[in-house]
Amino acid sequence: MSLYAIGDLHLHFQSEVKSKSQRRDRIWRKHEEKLLKNCRQMITDEDTLVLVGDHSWGKKLADCEEDLEYIKSLPGRKILIRGNHDQFWDAKKTAKLNELYQPDLTFLQNSFEVYRDFAIVGTKGYTFEGPFYLDNRGRIFDWDRTEEAHSWKLIERELERLRTSFEMARTAGYRRYIMFLHYPPTNIMERESGFTEMAREYGAEKVIYAHSHGESRFHDSLLGQVDGIEYQLVSGDFLRWMPKKILD
Ligand SMILES: [Fe+2]
Ligand SMILES: [Fe+2]
């Protein structure tokens, strides 16, 4: 029995691809076929696979049904985290999605799931992504302050949702946590954030995130051991469509 994770499938069985790099870059060519093949080789029905957001380009649930059917067809128990592009998933209507798709898919929001003696906790997260203004040596000298102020509101809301997830797990008696975020836990100027603080506060053993696409973005946030917590990026193109084993 193992726990795996991968994010950013950006499926488009019924919708239009909205990213230039996904249309252009080799890594994205028939990526759903590569992922299905890799999952079938690695993952059994005893395993758990966490899909770390940006599942579909579809705007409404009706445009995502084939994408969700594809996710259902992957082996193992599937747990989904919300991504910024998942317009079909209104956080406040998560119960409805679970009603429609359980037991095949579990949409995790203001809740937690269990893996061995670990609680799987998580939320979409959020981080300020600019615009940043660079000097002629490519160093950041300023950034859009209005956008930054707006991002703080979104960060606060996501921190509340994450705390709800941790608190539910703790109240249920869990003391070991794996924390999932779609967004990286820190922005490109930070080494700490409300998300890293919360991971430390509850003693999360790992923080798993996605969202960063393309070589130039793979090092936007924390990777490896930081303050005793293991940070891992699991966006699909970073993993070359090979799900990452998180726990045995
Ligand atoms: Fe993405
Ligand atoms: Fe994303």
Q: Read off the pLDDT of residues 37-55 as tens digits, 9 standing for 90 and up.
A: 999 999 999 999 999 999 9
Q: What are phi and psi of 137, to 5 degrees?
A: -100, 5
- Give the Å distance between the CA of 53 and the centre of ligand 2: 7
Q: What is the CATH number of the domain that holds 28?
A: 3.60.21.10
pLDDT computed for residue 36 by the predictor: 98
Tell me which ligand sits closest to the C-alpha of residue 22.
1
Q: What percent of the chain has pLDDT over 90?
A: 96
Cα-to-centroid distance, 43 and ligand 2 (Å):
24
- How does pLDDT run across 23-37, given as a tens digit for each residue? 999 999 999 999 999
The DSSP letter of residue 7 is: B
Look up the pTM and report it: 0.97
pLDDT the model gives residue 10: 98
Identify residues whose C-beta is under 5 A from ligand 1, the ion.
8, 54
SS (HEC) of 153-218: HHHHHHHHHHHHHHHHHHHCCCCEEEEEECCCCCCCCCCCCHHHHHHHHHCCCEEEECCCCCHHHC
User: What is the enclosing helix (H) or strand (E) of 232?
Assistant: strand 229-233
Extract the residue ranges of the chain whose pLDDT is less than 70. Answer: none
| pLDDT recorded at residue 138 | 87
Number of independent structural domains in the chain: 1
Distance (angstroms) between ligand 1 centre and the Cα of 10 equals 7
The Å distance, Cα 218 to ligand 1 centre, comes to 12
Separation of CA 240 and ligand 1 centre (Å): 14
Q: What is the dihedral of CA 67, 68, 74, 77, to 10 degrees?
A: 160
101 CA distance to ligand 2 middle (Å): 22
Structure confidence at residue 244 (pLDDT) = 98
List, as ranges, residues with CB under 5 A of the ion ligand 2.
54, 83-84, 211
Ligand 1 centroid distance, CA of 119 (Å): 25
Asked if residue 118 lies in contact with residue 174, where contact means CB atoms within 8 angstroms, the answer is yes
Calculate the alpha carbon distances from 244 to 2, 13, 79, 133 in Å: 10, 24, 14, 34
Separation of 172 CA from ligand 2 center, angstroms? Answer: 30
How many whole angstroms from 11 Cα to the centroid of ligand 2? 13
Greatest alpha-carbon span in the chain: 54
Give residue 47 CA to ligand 1 midpoint distance, Å: 24
What is the residue range of 194's domain? 3-247
Q: Which residues pair with 207 in a beta bridge?
A: 179, 231
CA-wise closest residue to 204 among 181, 179, 182:
179
